[in-house]
Structure formats: C-alpha cells, structure tokens
Structure 1
Amino acid sequence: MVGLKPSDVPPPLAVKMMSAGAAACVADLVTFPLDTAKVRLQIQGEKTMEAAKDIRYRGVFGTISTMIRTEGPKSLYNGLVAGLQRQVCFASIRIGLYDNVKNFYTGGKDNPSILIRILAGCTTGAMAVSFAQPTDVVKVRFQAQMNLSGVARRYNGTMQAYKHIFQNEGLRGLWKGTLPNITRNALVNCTELVTYDLIKEAILKHNLMSDSCPRFCGWARGTS
C-alpha cells in the first residue's frame, strides 16, 4: 500500500478557500434539517408562532417529524440557498485563511505557539462572521418561516429577502446579532482549528500515515 505523503508545496490560498467552502456546503446539505429544527425549537413561544399555536415541537427529531407532517419535507430545507451562500462566505474565510493568518502572526516561522494558533482562529472566525452575517440572518429568517395555509409568507426568495430586510430594517437589519455571533464563532473556530492543527501536526511529525511507520505498515499488511 502506498503511504500518504504530504506535499512540500502548500496549496495556494484560492484552493484552500474553495476547498473549505465546498466541504462546508456538502456538510450543510446533510445537516440542514437539524439546523432548521434547532431554529424552530429556539423560536417556539414567540408571537410570530401564534398562527400555529396548536403545533408543538418536542425534541430535534420530533420537530423534524412535525414539520414534515404539517408543512411537507421541503420545509426542512427552508433557506438552503442562503445557507449555502453562508458556507461559501463563512467557511472559506474561517478555514481557508487560517494558515495564512497564522503565518502572518508568526512571520512565517515554523512551530507556532498555541497562543498564536488561538489568535489566528479567533481572527478568522471574527472575520468570517463580519463578512457572512447577512447570509446567516436570511437563512435563519427562512428557517423560522412556516409553510402553512393561512400564514402569510414574508420571504419568497433569497434575493427578495435581502432586499426586503434592507428596505425595511436598513443595513443594520442585515447585520443583526453580529457581536454575539462573532464572540461565539471566534471561540468555536479557535477551538476547532487549533485542535485540528495540533492533531494534524502530531500525525505528520510521527509519520503515522506513511510507510515509514511500523505500526501503520503492519496494519496495512494485515499483521499485528
């Protein structure tokens, strides 16, 4: 079996950003119904739900089941277009720029400290939210919108939603919740990426994915 050997030439920034955005979009396609269920559970009890006061959501999978029964399967993917737009903008920055920002803070030196990694993760997380917040606002608005007869729909399309929010709430409307979202995602991003970075570095340092690792070779040949 041919061992996996990392290239000495790192991929260009554009490839990193495109890869991160594409991977996040695939993940969003799979997990979007769970995210929609989370939003419905969070807004349950709000005045906007009075038109559907007889509908009660109980648990994640109970919410998904109720939505399919009352609104149809498509309701689970309300706001998917905005969700994919969010991932293209958000993940490509928070993940794709991480290595470059880390190198910027270290001046290109190897073996950056954990503090530098955390700082880089917080930076790209905050940058990503600042840029992608309007897509997140529209996504959540769609997810909260109910597809029931007799219930007026505020948004009929993604671009119409951006336009409607801007006309009625101004630019601030598109960036609602930015500060708490920056705080949350800066912490999440530095935790995720720093952990990933350290594990990846340990794997490469100890040659765990190459033929030079005796344990890996024994496993690959079917021996203990």
Structure 2
Amino acid sequence: MGIKILSAGVAACLADVITFPLDTAKVRLQIQGECQTSSAIRYKGVLGTISTLARSEGPVKLYSGLPAGLQRQISFASLRIGLYDTVQEFFATGKESSLGSKISAGLTTGGVAVFIGQPTEVVKVRLQAQSHLHGLKPRYTGTYNAYRIIVTTEGLLGLWKGTTPNLMRNVIINCTELVTYDLMKTALVRNKILADDVPCHLLSALIAGFCTTILSSPVDVVKTRFVNSPPGQYTNVRDCAMTMFTKEGPTAFFKGLVPSFLRLASWNVIMFVCFEQLKRELMKSRQPVDCAT
C-alpha cells in the first residue's frame, strides 16, 4: 500500500507539471462570462487561451498556482489512486472484485481525498484565475499568502469553500477514471488484445480520460466558479449553478470542455503510465530484501 501511495503521488506530480498550462486555460475559460467588466480580453479555444495568457501576462502565468497544484496531488491523488486497490479488496466479497466493489472503492477514496485536499484546490483555482491586467490588483501574491489571506478574511472554513461541488466532481472523476481504467485494462489483458504494459496502460488511460471529462464537466465548471467567487457573490452552490444557467444558458456548464479533455486525457496517460512503471520497479526492488529477511 505504501508503494502504491508513493508511486501515485510521484506520478501525479509529474503529470501536473507537464499539463498545468492546460489546467490554467481550462479555469480561465470556465470563469469567462462570470463578470463581463473585469477584463476586455476574451479567450477563444485552448491554444488561443494559452497564447493570449502568455502574451498578455507572461509565460510564467500559465504556471500560477503550481505549488498549490503539487500540494494537491501529494495530499489528494496519492490517496485516491494509491488506496484504490486496497479499498477495493476490502469491498470485494469473492476472489474477483465486482463492478460494485470497484465503484464503492472509487467513491470512498475520492470522498476521503477531497476533504483532505480541498484547501489546496481552493488556493490553486484562485491563483490560476486572478489577473493583474486593466488595473486589477491581484488578490494574492503567492501560494502561502493566499492561504493566510483566505483564513484571515474568510475564516478557516474558507479553505474548504466549494467542498460540496468538488466532492461531487471528484467522486464522479474518481469512479469514472479509476473504474473505467481498471475495466479497460482488465478487458484488454484478459482478451489478449494487449499485454499488461505501456500500450495497454496508454489506451486505457485515454478512454478513461474521455469518459471522465464528459461526465464531470458541468460539476467542474460550477465548482470552479464557486471556489473562485469572492464572499457574498453566491449564496450557495445551487445559486451559483442557477445564476450560470439564467445568465449564460446551459452551454455555460460545458465551458472549457476541450482543454478539460486535453488536460484530463494527457494527465491520465502520463500519470497511469508512470504509476504502473514506478510501482512495478519499486515492487521489484523490494523482492531481494524480502527474501533475505
């Protein structure tokens, strides 16, 4: 279990570093339209958003919030992915895990990880969303400054703002992502289509990323809007969702869908491939020690 948690944490951090600009583009597209007067810049498409951000605010802005993002992966992804197999075995009634035990494991590890990692999610989203253009003063100067200001102005519970939509989002993501990946990998190996190696892991991760993006997009947009909002803008999560629907229409719930898919798909591929390889190598390195003892 320790090897799986460590492997998941390292693989998730590596995937986050590589795909973080896509995540920043997704956040900017999701909050676009929330406040029409805050910026004259309109983002169009994934590449357009990334190039506009790099040109207008500097390339470093694409990685704004990365420290909080890495903290999120260490506290969140390591648990939800690393504990999945162990929890699945707990729910399994027979020798083989059923679909029900896989879903139950995804729900459990995803839910637990959200409550632990929510403060890092709040800080990450706010740093990605803030802009210094058009005379706007940044809300925060850095990661730890954001933690301090949120606690002093909104209270300690401010760090857990948006837990409900984030819980819904990550339960959907965790179940869809891990269960789909698990089922696809098992089917490919069992039917002898692919061996349990990199091509199998890559294809399974891509399919899992696509399914996860479609199902989680509406909740993801609401979560981003609510977490980024200043105190008093929305009374609750439902008010945030209704405001989006009445002002921007149902398509608002799918803003940033393309960068979300590109980010999730590429993140899944990098994370799962690295996770499987790192886990395998660490397991091998333990065997001589275990035999000797």
TM over 0.5: yes
**Which runs of 5 or more residues in structure 2 are unaligned?**
197-293
The answer for the alignment partner of 1:82 in structure 2 is: 68
Tell me the TM-score normalised to structure 2 length. 0.62
Matches of 1:123 and 1:56 in 2, distance apart?
39
Matches of 1:57 and 1:192 in 2, distance apart?
28
More helix by share: 2
The answer for the alignment partner of 1:8 in structure 2 is: none
Matches of 2:99 and 2:138 in 1, distance apart?
48
Matches of 2:88 and 2:12 in 1, distance apart?
21
* Alpha-carbon offset, residue 203 of structure 1: 5.0
Q: 2:15 aligns with which of 19, 27, 30?
A: 27
Secondary structure at 1:95 match in 2 = helix
Secondary structure at 1:41 match in 2 = helix
The answer for the alignment partner of 1:36 in structure 2 is: 24
Alpha carbons of 1:111 and 1:63: their partners in 2 closer, same or farther (altered >3 Å)? same
* Alpha-carbon offset, residue 151 of structure 1: 2.5
* Alpha-carbon offset, residue 111 of structure 1: 0.3
Letter of the aligned partner of 1:96 in structure 2?
Answer: G
Please tell me the root mean square deviation across aligned C-alpha atoms, in Å: 1.9
Alignment of 1:203-222 (within 5 A): 203=188, 205=190, 209=195
Quote the sequence identity (%): 59
* Alpha-carbon offset, residue 205 of structure 1: 4.3
The answer for the alignment partner of 1:50 in structure 2 is: 37
Secondary structure at 2:155 match in 1 = helix
* Alpha-carbon offset, residue 147 of structure 1: 3.5
Deviations 1:142-174 (A, max 9, x none): 001113373212211211111110111112211
Matches of 1:198 and 1:46 in 2, distance apart?
38
Q: 1:96 aligns with which of 82, 107, 121?
A: 82
The answer as to 2:106 corresponding to 1:118 is no
* Alpha-carbon offset, residue 84 of structure 1: 0.8
Deviations 1:40-69 (A, max 9, x none): 11222334x735x32111122111111111
The answer for the alignment partner of 2:164 in structure 1 is: 179
The answer as to 2:62 corresponding to 1:61 is no
Matches of 1:69 and 1:204 in 2, distance apart?
46
Letter of the aligned partner of 2:76 in structure 1?
Answer: F
Report if the CA contact (8 A) 1:83-1:135 is conserved: yes
Give the total of aligned pairs: 195
Larger gyration radius, structure 1 or structure 2: 1
Alpha carbons of 1:206 and 1:42: their partners in 2 closer, same or farther (altered >3 Å)? closer
* Alpha-carbon offset, residue 100 of structure 1: 1.0
* Alpha-carbon offset, residue 110 of structure 1: 2.1
The answer as to 2:145 corresponding to 1:157 is no
The answer as to 2:146 corresponding to 1:134 is no
Matches of 2:57 and 2:181 in 1, distance apart?
39
